[in-house]
């Protein structure tokens, strides 16, 4: 049986060059319907894509009231990694315990000591108070309880984590396989987790633009100088870094991004500069006063600390 020659394109049919082919592909992409968001809206969990120096991966994030969540357990993580250890207890020759603190924990301890001294001072003042002072103290306690209730109602981030490590998956398929496996993780405490694990398909792992973060580009962008800074990139990096620091219990990163810090000043100036008007003008002036080297070094530390607690999964 003679082999048939491949069909040649009709002479009347124009051939597409590379430019036309790319345009056609773009047109197909535009016609493709967006991923169905119904499942994510029902379970109140979102897929997230994070790029780090070691690669890009997918994970999940949810926001819930703090009172409903059990934080990730970092005891094993901190014990295994000396750079993340809060403290190390050793025995001396006299069998006395000596606590060796790293710099981060020492700083936090100093803050706690100051808070303890302030509490002791308040306690002494309270002991000298008269009846009216006691009534005021009771009112202050009631206010404090109200503040605690409000803090418990505040929504906080929770990621797909386990034992203090962020689980990042290189493909949607591997992420779905993990979720369906029933493996332990911190998101499984959510009441909608079982529904997600039963219904999730790889095609659903399509993060929105606002849930896609490029932490791998932040340091290099800052090194480029003020005129090269990508405001949107840096603002989004601050948002995901704060969420990860809270969920992964990284106090050093939270402190570096806390109100009044140099990196928080950078964030506020960036946000002001994109708003336009007088505020935008003032924001741009503030940006000029922020050192590019200081900002890049700070962010290199943040990205490094986050990268150190990532568990990459294929």
pLDDT digits (tens, 9 = 90+) for 144-163: 555 556 667 899 999 999 99
- Per-residue pLDDT at 311: 97
pLDDT bucket at 29, cuts 50 / 70 / 90: very low
Percentage of the residues of the chain whose pLDDT score is greater than 90: 55
**Which residue would you say has higher pLDDT here, 64 or 19?**
64
Q: Is the pLDDT of residue 312 over 50?
A: yes
H helices of the chain, in order, are 18-31, 38-43, 75-80, 103-127, 131-153, 172-181, 193-199, 218-223, 231-247, 251-256, 262-274, 277-288, 292-307
- CA–CA distance from 228 to each of 225, 257, 302 (Å)? 6, 22, 21
What pTM did the predictor assign?
0.70
Q: Are 47 and 159 in contact (CB under 8 A)?
A: no
């Amino acid at each position: 049986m003679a082999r048939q020659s491949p069909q040649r394109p009709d002479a009347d049919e124009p051939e597409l060059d590379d430019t036309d082919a790319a345009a056609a592909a773009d047109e197909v992409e535009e016609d493709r319907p967006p991923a169905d968001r119904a499942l994510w809206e029902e379970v109140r969990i979102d897929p997230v894509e994070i790029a780090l120096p070691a690669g890009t991966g997918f994970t999940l994030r949810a926001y819930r009231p703090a009172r409903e969540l059990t934080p990730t357990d970092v005891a094993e993580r901190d014990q295994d990694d000396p750079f993340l250890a809060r403290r190390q207890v050793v025995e001396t020759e006299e069998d006395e315990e000596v606590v060796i603190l790293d710099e981060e924990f020492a700083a936090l301890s100093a803050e706690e000591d100051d808070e303890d001294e302030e509490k002791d001072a308040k306690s002494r003042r309270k002991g000298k108070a008269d009846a009216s002072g006691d009534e005021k103290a009771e009112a202050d306690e009631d206010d404090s309880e109200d503040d605690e209730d409000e803090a418990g109602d505040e929504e906080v981030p929770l990621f797909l984590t386990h034992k203090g490590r962020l689980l990042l998956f290189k493909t949607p398929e591997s992420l779905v396989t993990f979720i369906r496996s029933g493996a332990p993780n911190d998101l499984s405490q959510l009441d909608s987790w079982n529904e997600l694990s039963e219904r999730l398909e790889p095609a659903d792992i399509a993060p929105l633009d606002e849930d896609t973060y490029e932490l791998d580009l932040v340091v290099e962008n800052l090194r480029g100088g003020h005129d090269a800074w990508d405001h949107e990139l840096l603002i989004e990096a601050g948002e995901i870094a704060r969420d990860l620091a809270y969920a992964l219990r990284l106090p050093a990163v939270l402190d570096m991004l806390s109100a009044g810090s140099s990196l928080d000043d950078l964030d506020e100036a960036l946000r002001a500069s994109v708003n336009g008007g007088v505020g935008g003008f003032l924001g741009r002036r503030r940006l000029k006063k922020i050192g590019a080297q200081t900002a890049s070094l700070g962010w290199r530390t943040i990205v490094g600390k986050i990268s150190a607690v990532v568990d990459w999964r294929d």
